[in-house]
């Protein structure tokens, strides 16, 4: 926390300092673990105190870390100063994440999985893992996030060709298709071009739009007081893919995932606020009349 952002050559006093384990992929993994599903993390950390903390936090959440590689460098780190008005800046250092290589991926680990979720490793790693998943009939869900999506459709194409479930946000769909205003049309285009089975578009407070070749359902968001939206997408993705893994129908998956997103935004923090299975069940029971959708 800072009173204001410094200008060039200026110094400001940091008034509060907090340290959290984070990263979209790691938060997703913890989200799945809290829903009671066996899950592992494939990635690289540095041999520093941040890496050690990430590892300890994974272990506490019962995440399998057998595929967590440690490199002789710094761990990926983000520095996020927030001013008194809640504005933030993000300084993102990829660190060990940037040197994850296809050679770091253990084929057998992916082959025995039910579902693989890819965020934003180096694109050659994403492509390698996606092809491996497809060859071995492992369901692949892909959520590269805004920074990768800004590089354009062509950049993520090699992964999209192997994707079963794509999880963009509304603004990311708009970045991919600046000429099409409509998320449904954009989703259908992706489905037809890349043979994707499900596009689950995250619409913030408006909920989610689930599109398949034959159907489109808009499942309205739950009306909740918003405290912090950081990590809502990861919470949604964890719950949605857990629903798919449990072979629920798409409406149930979307309602479950909207609930996971809504619970997250009511609480502070990207990682700490991720709900457990029990919390989602209780929330859904209390909000029965709020489960609206349009076909």
Site residues, ligand ADP (CB under 6 A): 169, 202-205, 207-208, 221-222, 224, 226, 229, 232-233, 236, 258, 261-262, 265
Instruction: Tell me whether residue 45 or residue 274 sits nearer to ligand ADP (CB atom).
Output: 274
Tokens of residue 87, six digits: 């504005």
Measured distance CA(2)–CA(83) in Å, rounded: 5
Tokens of residue 109, six digits: 């680990």
The distance of closest approach from Cβ of residue 233 to ligand ADP in the complex, given in angstroms and rounded to an integer, is 2
Instruction: Tell me whether residue 1 or residue 226 sits nearer to ligand ADP (CB atom).
Output: 226
Instruction: Tell me whether residue 131 or residue 228 sits nearer to ligand ADP (CB atom).
Output: 228
Tokens of residue 238, six digits: 């964890």
150: helix, strand or coil: coil
The distance of closest approach from Cβ of residue 222 to ligand ADP in the complex, given in angstroms and rounded to an integer, is 5
- CA nearest to 68, candidates 51, 86, 91: 51
Instruction: Tell me whether residue 46 or residue 255 sits nearer to ligand ADP (CB atom).
Output: 255
The distance of closest approach from Cβ of residue 34 to ligand ADP in the complex, given in angstroms and rounded to an integer, is 16
Measured distance CA(96)–CA(110) in Å, rounded: 21
The distance of closest approach from Cβ of residue 205 to ligand ADP in the complex, given in angstroms and rounded to an integer, is 4
Measured distance CA(110)–CA(235) in Å, rounded: 22
Instruction: Tell me whether residue 61 or residue 172 sits nearer to ligand ADP (CB atom).
Output: 172
Measured distance CA(154)–CA(176) in Å, rounded: 10
- CA nearest to 118, candidates 195, 184, 29: 29
The distance of closest approach from Cβ of residue 139 to ligand ADP in the complex, given in angstroms and rounded to an integer, is 20
276: helix, strand or coil: coil
The distance of closest approach from Cβ of residue 203 to ligand ADP in the complex, given in angstroms and rounded to an integer, is 5
Instruction: Tell me whether residue 55 or residue 218 sits nearer to ligand ADP (CB atom).
Output: 218
Residue 270: DSSP 8-state? S
């Amino acid at each position: 926390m800072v009173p204001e952002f410094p200008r060039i050559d200026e110094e400001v006093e940091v008034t509060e300092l907090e340290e959290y384990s984070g990263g979209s992929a790691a938060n997703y993994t913890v989200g799945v673990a809290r829903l009671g599903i066996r899950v592992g993390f494939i990635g690289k950390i540095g041999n520093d105190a941040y890496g050690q903390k990430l590892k300890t936090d994974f272990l506490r959440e019962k995440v399998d870390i057998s595929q967590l590689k440690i490199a002789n460098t710094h761990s990926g780190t983000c520095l996020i100063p927030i001013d008194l008005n809640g504005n933030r800046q993000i300084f993102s250092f990829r660190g060990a994440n940037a040197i994850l290589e296809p050679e770091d991926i253990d084929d057998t680990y992916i082959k025995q999985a039910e579902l693989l979720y890819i965020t934003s490793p180096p694109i050659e790693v994403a492509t390698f893992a996606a092809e491996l998943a497809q060859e071995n009939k492992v369901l692949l869900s892909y959520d590269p996030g805004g920074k990768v999506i800004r590089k354009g459709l062509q950049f993520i194409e090699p992964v999209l060709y192997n994707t079963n479930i794509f999880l963009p946000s509304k603004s990311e769909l708009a970045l991919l298709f600046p000429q099409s205003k409509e998320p449904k049309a954009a989703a259908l285009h992706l489905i037809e071009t890349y043979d994707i089975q499900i596009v689950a578009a995250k619409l913030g407070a408006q909920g989610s739009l689930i599109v398949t070749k034959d159907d489109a359902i808009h499942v309205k968001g739950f009306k909740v007081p918003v405290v912090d939206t950081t990590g809502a997408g990861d919470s949604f993705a964890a719950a949605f893919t857990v629903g798919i893994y449990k072979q629920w129908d798409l409406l149930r998956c979307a309602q479950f995932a909207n609930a996971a997103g809504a619970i997250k935004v009511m609480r502070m923090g990207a990682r700490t606020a991720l709900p457990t299975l029990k919390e989602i069940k209780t929330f859904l029971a209390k909000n029965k009349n709020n489960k609206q959708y349009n076909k």
